[in-house]
Amino acid sequence: QVQLVESGGGWVEAGGSLRLSCTGSGRNLDTDTMGWFRQAPGKAREFVAGINSIDGSTSYSDSAKGRFTASRDNAKNTLFLQMNSLKTEDTAMYFCTQRPGYSMVIPTRPGPYVHWGQGTQVTVSS
């Protein structure tokens, strides 16, 4: 049973930074595609960033590009999301997710992903 546990969320002022972590258990994630999604109240879950296995290639949403960086430490079975220059519109619950294997194109929709964490709340105040 794969379990993903996010941490690192919290409250920050606009312009600040946070680093989210996602630690997996039950499976070595180094061969899997990993993603970050977020969901604000009343809105659909949206793609933020993804990172591939093997080559570590990444993909970002337009809103995350240039501000957020996804990375992974396979030795620790952990995924990271460094978020800089945070804006109030980044306020949401952030979820880590996993898709088995390498992806020719990192999925940006929730459907292809299999396992999800419980989420960590990020609140950005003005």
Q: Hey, what amino acid is at 105?
A: V
Mean pLDDT of 59-77: 97
Give the per-residue pLDDT at 54.
84
SS3 69: strand
CA-based diameter of the chain, in Å?
Answer: 40
d(CA 24, CA 27): 7
Q: What would the pLDDT profile of 3-33 be if each residue is shown by its tens digit?
A: 999 999 999 999 999 999 999 999 999 999 9
81, containing H or E segment: strand 78-83
